[in-house]
Structure 1
């Protein structure tokens, strides 16, 4: 190869580099979810796919985690870019209450609400319970100690003018609570989960189960005290032998980010998800519950500016 040809080749390569511009760096982002058997992990995986398809130069992955309580700390510490959590847990974390007592996580910001995780208060016919008002001197299962379900139970009981001192409290998992109900060792149980909940389906298949309604005035009081609650009806037929709609309250799964996350990146991620909800619905049944119309209902913490910009463009108010 002649010296002249080498020089010409050098000039061609130099011009190519100048006029092609800088190569954009790939940004890697993580979405903290939950265990592989839950809803958060597959739904987060579906979100990651949409982000990878519709946001340039971003590589998103869904990460297995311990779910809500762990996830808010991951966001606070900037160990992940996004996380799926319950909106009541984000409220407690931001305000330093309940399991975060005295330890507020100030940097949490909301991106969007996703789907309901419904508070179901289940009992059996014959237990002489028609309402939470009837819990006095009864044995009540309220979820695991320090769990979101336990906090829901305590708040709802107190909204009815009662306290744990008025009843016998058992801290039980959903499966344990249903077994104890079936065996007559507890009289009612709180279960916070998507519907239909398999534990309640199993109970209703072999026993005369019923889910208690929460009265409208109690719902109004809860919403005044705790901004993460919203009213919801469990459709009749969700569980065998329960034919009528049941009014109760729900907390919501949501997606959060750190306040320091880049505004344009959060905007683009929000758009990738909410501009493609038909695709998200294909990844998991709960993905079909995500909608633009309800994306801000029950938002318990300050919005991230990037997400706020997207919803402002859609004409939605927070």
Structure 2
């Protein structure tokens, strides 16, 4: 009997031991789980905090950037600069963001400045912008990926300017002459290359001079150069200044060559400089590209929308002659790159879309 009691006692103690061990194991597992959950929560909290800090920093940087907008234009004697000044005032009033129009070396340099984050807005030729996005010509191997379009503005006429008594009456007559073609890589330079190419010529066939518009017309007036390629809206201030001192001639481009040029480079269009401009006695047939306004992709959608709306709805208040060309009807002509979301929103509201 006593032996049975001892056996029962031993069995009871064994059961209690197992129960205590199990409870201890469950407690340990629960502690481990609680520690893991605590660590996970702390990690998530830290990540969330870091994310919030990063978002706050980005928002602060964005707000700082938008205290001012820099608009790159062109030389002071061209069309970009005076027209850009008017636009900058309108944008400032519409957005509340101080916008300054700055003189520059125009198209190619403007795109590089946008690419490098040195400005937010810029005047650019549509052909140069196309080359930049494709990474060709002066952008060979360095395609631009952070620039979008606001819209087209007006035709930029390729004007081959010379004196009336220079003896230069055709593009072929430029051979062997001192001819200003703008800065290497500039829109004017590329236009000169492509027009010479259509005539079976190259820069090697002329004595190329890399001058800006003011230097070009000054050089023609002084007799230091014979002619100049000037790509700008007409009338161009520098050429008007030249016409006030000497009789000016504009070298025409043959109709057949215009067709060849447009077939090879579709961003060109036939254009005419009308009689009376610069004192010309007859219309002169030539070609044009389009001026456009480009913007960096870090400009917020709402600001891009207000910029676009301000320009196209206030063009009628601008004093510059070229403002009459700034309409929603032609705003997307020649635009081969992506529109800024704000610009797209505005044009969608107007029922205008890219072809």
The TM tier, using the shorter chain, reads 0.7 to 0.9
Contact 1:236 1:243 in 2 (8 A): yes
Contact 1:174 1:199 in 2 (8 A): yes
- Equivalent residue in structure 2 for 1:276, among 305, 310, 314: 314
Q: Could you say what the CA RMSD is over the residues aligned between the two structures, in angstroms?
A: 3.1
Q: 1:183 to 1:275 in 2, by over 3 A?
A: closer
Matched, 1:290 2:326: yes
Q: Which residue of structure 2 aligns with residue 197 of structure 1?
A: 236
Q: Distance in 1 between matches of 2:194 and 2:345?
A: 34
Q: Distance in 2 between matches of 1:78 and 1:184?
A: 40
Contact 2:76 2:103 in 1 (8 A): no
Q: Deviations over 1:33-83 (max 9, x none)?
A: 24794554554444344345445xx42422535343443234324454332
TM score, norm. by length of structure 2: 0.69
Q: 1:201 to 1:308 in 2, by over 3 A?
A: same
- Equivalent residue in structure 2 for 1:301, among 337, 341, 353: 337
Q: 1:161 to 1:109 in 2, by over 3 A?
A: same
Moved more, 182-191 or 286-295: 182-191
Q: Distance in 1 between matches of 2:118 and 2:207?
A: 41
- Runs (5+) with no aligned partner, structure 1: 1-24
Q: The residue matched to 1:231 in structure 2 has which SS?
A: strand
Question: Structure 1 residue 175: deviation in Å?
Answer: 4.3
Question: Which of the pair has more CA radius of gyration?
Answer: 2
Matched, 1:150 2:186: no
Matched, 1:61 2:99: yes
Q: Deviations over 1:246-291 (max 9, x none)?
A: 1212233321122344334322321222122223x14x44434422
Q: 1:156 to 1:44 in 2, by over 3 A?
A: same
Moved more, 214-223 or 174-183: 174-183
Q: Deviations over 1:124-179 (max 9, x none)?
A: 44544332133344443323444332221111100122223334433344444445
Contact 1:121 1:212 in 2 (8 A): yes
Contact 1:72 1:83 in 2 (8 A): yes
Q: The residue matched to 1:239 in structure 2 has which SS?
A: helix
Q: Which residue of structure 2 aligns with residue 113 of structure 1?
A: 152
Contact 1:31 1:61 in 2 (8 A): yes
Q: Which residue of structure 1 aligns with residue 304 of structure 2?
A: 266
Q: Which residue of structure 1 aligns with residue 46 of structure 2?
A: none
- Aligned pairs for 1:46-195 (under 5 A) are 46-55=86-95, 58-64=96-102, 66=104, 67-182=106-221, 186-195=225-234
Q: Distance in 2 between matches of 1:175 and 1:62?
A: 22
Contact 1:31 1:84 in 2 (8 A): no
Contact 1:41 1:62 in 2 (8 A): no
Which has a greater percent of helix? 2
TM score, norm. by length of structure 1: 0.76
